A and B are shown apart, each in its own frame.
Chain A
Amino acid sequence: MTLFIEQCLNGLQFGLLLFMLAAGLTLVFGIMDLVNLAHGSLYMIGAYFAATLTAWTGSFLLGVAMALVGTLLVGMVLEVVVMRRLYGRDHLDHVLATFGLILFFDETVRLIWGPAGLSLPLPSWLNAPVQILPGVYYSAYKLSIIIVSLAVAAGLYFLVMRTRVGMLIRAGASNREMVGALGVNIKLLYTLVFGLGAALAGLAGLMQAPILTVQIGMGEIIIILAFVITVIGGIGSIRGAFVAAIFVGLVDTLGRAFFPDLLRMVLSPAAASTAAPALSSMLIYLLMAIVLVLKPEGLFSAGNK
């Protein structure tokens, strides 16, 4: 039972992390109609910045804060230099151009930091397990990821639905020209939105960094899951991304933890241990297939596209 609670929390934590990535992806798609494959590169950059800056300043929190600002700036520069030229073009153009960006970012990181991975050590106050229920301990760091992500999700909802900037963002999504004609600097707004998405990706990357190694290609692996989530949730819908991310995080984590045992009840132990790794990695894709058969536009389709 303790194991089950722990795995549920792990799933929740992984899901919330994926939400950070998927939120940026779906925000940029919903508002700028831009498919950004290089979103995973921003995730990687956030992690590299955090590892370097933490080592440089000697403070985890300071390093993380600087890394966030750094990723935000990289995102905004990227928008001004490249992405701006891609708006209104074919989706295939987006895919190709941002694929080129992935090659560029991966190689730049290799040039600066070298091919070996980095690690981001945790400060001692985050490294200890905390008691969440009588007799149930959980990693303080993973718990803090859950809290931070929930706060960010709430903040994002507030920003988009309850503030003037959010209103302009939503207006820009439905009619770019009209918002511009009313005297709003839509170009600046888009740069800010892209920067926000980049910072979210960077945050996900640096939060994941202490758990996994910081390495080249880390973004390419996880970005596919973020795509799966945006597709399940409905492209352009932040609410959908949230629901789908939690769902995918739980299914993936619990699947990997308990599916092999379930399989052992049906198959012989030898056959089960052969088939389990392959089958449990298929679970989320099966989930996606089922959702799309029932609702081809995703669970919460944005509707304005």
Chain B
Amino acid sequence: MSGWLSARAVTVVVLLAALALLPVYVELGGSRFLLTLFTRIIILAMAAVSLNLILGFGGMMSFGHAVYLGIGGYAVGMLAHEGIYSGFVQWPVALAASALFALVIGALSLRTRGVYFIMLTLAFAQMAYYVVAGLARYGGDDGLTIYKRSQFFEPINLSNKTQFYYICLALLYASIYLVWRIVNSRFGMVIQGSRSNDTRMRAIGFPTFRYKLTCFVIAGVLCGLAGALLANHTDFVSPAMMYWTRSGDLIIMVVLGGMGSVVGPVFGAIALLVLEETLSGITEYWQIILGPLLLLVVLFARGGIDGLLRKVRYA
């Protein structure tokens, strides 16, 4: 409805371009820390984009999405621990493990709706957390240090910070594009239709369970990829990656950015993590500000950042 030059479209283009130009700014004398911070933001934005596919478009309120960050991360960490460094092995294993986990817990959880679904996904993610925390061989509670990042063929070197940043950014853009394509496909229409009225969709003849399960697995795989990236970014994996409060962080990113908007979660991830960084610079007790702030967003700004941008049409 709004034209190409709406405030929202301009913001999106400027944002995506700014992210692409960030390393140039760092080379020209910006802080190196900025590059590390934004690599993290981009990876978590990717996780949030994948969560948005099921939460925003599919209406599936998963409260255990961080579990795939952990699974993807541990796939890289465990294989590295066993001396297998090739990314061509590590990454496919990360994706396959995430897919398998999503398939199993999705098949069980999607039988239920509403609060049951929230609590089931939450509980299964906690189960994975405790299992990983119990694996003494891989560090248990203390986590596992990764001494060598995933190895690919020659020019690609994940230890080069700028190169790694661009790889993460490219994968983020690719996942945004993928989600956008899914949402606008026939498959995506069925998913969104099922969010509005599942009974009617089934009455028309769509086996919505299978559609939703497929969607749930796709989101899990995308987040598993983000997990593999995160492990390479921090050179460390620990059960804390998939603790339930991390799943909460991902939901905050999606809602803060704007649910059901393809780029919304990117706004949300940037807003949340930059806010955390700023507030923790001001006071040690920054969560005392973040908590109530979150409450206010829920009570008064449900559309999130994307919703606000949609309102400023002629600005």
**Shortest beta-carbon distance from A109 to chain B in Å:** 10
Q: With A96-B255, A99-B252, A108-B288 in contact, do A282 and B127 touch (Cβ < 8 Å)? A: yes
Q: Is B118 an interface residue (CB 8 A)?
A: yes
Asked whether B134 lies within 8 Å of A277 as measured between CB atoms, the reply is yes
Q: Is A91 an interface residue (CB 8 A)?
A: yes
Asked whether B137 lies within 8 Å of A107 as measured between CB atoms, the reply is no
Asked whether B111 lies within 8 Å of A296 as measured between CB atoms, the reply is yes
Closest to B244 in A: A224
Q: Is A29 an interface residue (CB 8 A)?
A: yes
Asked whether A104 lies within 8 Å of B131 as measured between CB atoms, the reply is no
Interface size on B, residues (CB 8 A): 45
Interface size on A, residues (CB 8 A): 45
A residues 206-263 touching B (CB-CB < 8 Å): 220, 224, 227-228, 230-231, 235
0/1 interface trace, chain A 250-288, chain B, CB 8 Å (1 if under): 000000000000000000000000100111011001001
Q: With A96-B252, A100-B290, A277-B134 in contact, do A285 and B126 touch (Cβ < 8 Å)? A: yes
Contact of B116 among A97, A108, A279, A297 (CB under 8 A): A297
Asked whether A231 lies within 8 Å of B123 as measured between CB atoms, the reply is yes
**Shortest beta-carbon distance from A116 to chain B in Å:** 15
Asked whether A107 lies within 8 Å of B287 as measured between CB atoms, the reply is yes
Closest to A104 in B: B291
| Chain A residues with CB below 8 A from B290, complex form | 100, 103
Asked whether A224 lies within 8 Å of B123 as measured between CB atoms, the reply is yes
Q: Is the interface of A mostly helix, strand, loop or mixed?
A: helix
Q: Is A82 an interface residue (CB 8 A)?
A: yes
Contact of A107 among B61, B119, B120, B291 (CB under 8 A): B291
| Chain A residues with CB below 8 A from B115, complex form | 29, 35, 91, 235
Asked whether A278 lies within 8 Å of B294 as measured between CB atoms, the reply is no
Asked whether A231 lies within 8 Å of B294 as measured between CB atoms, the reply is no
**Shortest beta-carbon distance from B156 to chain A in Å:** 35
B residues 124-163 touching A (CB-CB < 8 Å): 124, 126-127, 130-137
| Chain A residues with CB below 8 A from B120, complex form | 231, 288, 292
| Chain A residues with CB below 8 A from B285, complex form | 107, 110-111
Q: Is B270 an interface residue (CB 8 A)?
A: no
Q: With A95-B118, A107-B285, A235-B116 in contact, do A278 and B130 touch (Cβ < 8 Å)? A: yes
Q: With A96-B251, A292-B112 in contact, do A101 and B123 touch (Cβ < 8 Å)? A: no
Asked whether A107 lies within 8 Å of B118 as measured between CB atoms, the reply is no
Q: With A91-B61, A104-B288 in contact, do A227 and B108 touch (Cβ < 8 Å)? A: no
| Chain A residues with CB below 8 A from B133, complex form | 281
**Shortest beta-carbon distance from B190 to chain A in Å:** 22
Q: Is A6 an interface residue (CB 8 A)?
A: no
Contact of A285 among B123, B245, B286, B302 (CB under 8 A): B123
B residues 242-294 touching A (CB-CB < 8 Å): 244-245, 248, 251-252, 255, 285-288, 290-294
| Chain B residues with CB below 8 A from A97, complex form | 294-295, 298-299
A97 to B55, CA, bound (A): 17
Asked whether B108 lies within 8 Å of A293 as measured between CB atoms, the reply is yes
Asked whether B116 lies within 8 Å of A101 as measured between CB atoms, the reply is no
Q: Is A106 an interface residue (CB 8 A)?
A: yes
Asked whether A292 lies within 8 Å of B108 as measured between CB atoms, the reply is yes
**Shortest beta-carbon distance from A295 to chain B in Å:** 10
Asked whether B131 lies within 8 Å of A281 as measured between CB atoms, the reply is yes
Q: With A92-B61, A281-B130, A282-B127 in contact, do A103 and B287 touch (Cβ < 8 Å)? A: yes
| Chain A residues with CB below 8 A from B294, complex form | 96-97, 99-100, 103
A278 to B61, CA, bound (A): 27
**Shortest beta-carbon distance from A90 to chain B in Å:** 9
| Chain B residues with CB below 8 A from A85, complex form | 299
**Shortest beta-carbon distance from A89 to chain B in Å:** 8
A residues 143-175 touching B (CB-CB < 8 Å): none
Q: With A220-B244, A235-B115, A292-B112 in contact, do A100 and B131 touch (Cβ < 8 Å)? A: no
A297 to B63, CA, bound (A): 18
| Chain A residues with CB below 8 A from B63, complex form | 95
| Top-8 shortest CB links A-B | A104-B291, A100-B294, A278-B134, A103-B291, A277-B134, A281-B130, A285-B127, A107-B288
Known: A220-B244, A285-B124. 20 other contacts (CB 8 A): A93-B302, A95-B251, A97-B294, A100-B294, A100-B295, A103-B287, A103-B294, A104-B287, A104-B292, A107-B286, A107-B287, A107-B288, A224-B123, A274-B136, A279-B131, A281-B130, A282-B130, A288-B120, A292-B112, A296-B112
Interface set of B (CB-CB < 8 Å, partner A): 55, 61, 63, 108, 111-112, 114-116, 118-120, 122-124, 126-127, 130-137, 244-245, 248, 251-252, 255, 285-288, 290-295, 297-299, 302
6 CB contacts below 8 A, A to B, read A91-B114, A91-B118, A95-B61, A111-B288, A220-B245, A227-B122
